[in-house]
Amino acid sequence: MWSLQLRMWLLLTVLFGFIYALIVVIGKSVLHVGDFSFYLIISLVLMFIQYMIGPKIVEWTMRVKYIKREDNPRLFQMVESLAMRANIPAPKIGIAQIEIPNAFAFGRSLRDGRVCVTKGIINLLSEEELKAVLGHELSHLKNRDVLTITLLSVIPMIMYRIAWEFLFYGRRRDERSGNTALIGLAAFVFYFITNLLVLYASRIREYFADRGSVALGNQPSALASSLYKLVYGSARMNPEALKESEGLKAFFVNDPSQARNEIKELAQLDLDKSGTIDPSELLLLKNKNVRLGFGDRLMELLSTHPNMLKRIKKLSEYRG
């Protein structure tokens, strides 16, 4: 876990450096201010605003409704039992009013943790599979990577907005300034680099959360089977329905937008066509070599989640 936290904080430091550098360039070119503390304060204020409003943005986008124990005693019992095993405070539990089958965790800290499932997942998974997914989400909270990914994810968005503003609007407002296009171009380059770094951070946290779910007592095959079902469920969704979660898919257990491609690869794992991946099928995968082609490696590089076949192969190496 320390390895994950170290990587995440190093990434946060690097990305904060990018945003600080760009704000300094803009400030010196447009405002003609050269004070170090002025730019540092602006950068920190941007991060603080994201820290404060991040959970509300997730709630609003995913249409989260928090529930009481009497609304779903089974779900409450699973979350509380897993939280006790993880030795963390029991998070708030919510149901997202969207049909995409998935789950996610967010919050500013361990005490502010929230775990949510979507309407689409509740009747799709068995109890063991749902527990494995919830264990994955609680591991995100335990690893304290939720806040970090929330802070990280806003930086490329800021870079993109700055690039758009200076490339397409800055020149119209001030034709005398030859720096606006250069600032916009620099922001766009920074956007591309920071986005790749955020995607990398998102992928590594998924591997740690998978391992964390197994450490909480869930069987690797139960998590593998749940991932298979989530991919299958997302692949059946209308593309328009998938778009409503596009901006926050890094929070999900899997990337719904990649489901149609992934289902073709994963179908080979379900040898008995039961719609699940059982321990014997997972054991067979353990003894196989999984090699990704150039196209698959490139797609993974640009994705919030690891290649699903590679990810399930990693699960096959864990002991339940």
Q: What percent of the chain has pLDDT over 90?
A: 38
Stretch among 1-5, 69-73, 164-168 having the lowest mean pLDDT = 1-5
For residue 186, name the pLDDT band (cuts at 50, 70, 90): confident
β-bridge partners, 76:
none
Whole-number CA gyration radius for the chain: 21
Whether 19 shows a pLDDT value over 70: the answer reads no
The candidate with the shortest Cα–Cα distance to 153, out of 63, 55, 71, 269, is 55
Whether 174 shows a pLDDT value over 60: the answer reads no
Q: Which residue has the tokens 């490139």?
A: 298
Whether 11 shows a pLDDT value over 50: the answer reads yes
For residue 40, name the pLDDT band (cuts at 50, 70, 90): low
Amino acid at 96: A
Q: Which of 42-56, 112-126, 151-165, 183-197 has the highest mean pLDDT?
A: 112-126
Q: What is the rounded distance in angstroms from the CA atom of residue 109 to the CA atom of residue 117?
A: 19
Residue in 99, 127, 129, 137 annotated catalytic: 137
Q: What is the rounded distance in angstroms from the CA atom of residue 95 to the CA atom of residue 97?
A: 6
Q: Residue 176's pLDDT is what?
A: 44
Whether 250 shows a pLDDT value over 90: the answer reads no
Active site residue 137: yes
Q: Mean pLDDT over residues 260-277, rounded?
A: 87
Q: Which of the two residues, 152 and 103, has the higher pLDDT score?
A: 103
Q: Mean pLDDT over residues 94-101, rounded?
A: 92
Amino acid at 106: F
DSSP 253: S
Phi, psi of 155 (to 5 degrees): -65, -50
* Average model confidence (pLDDT) across the chain: 83
- Which two structure tokens, joined as six digits, stand for 235? 């692949």
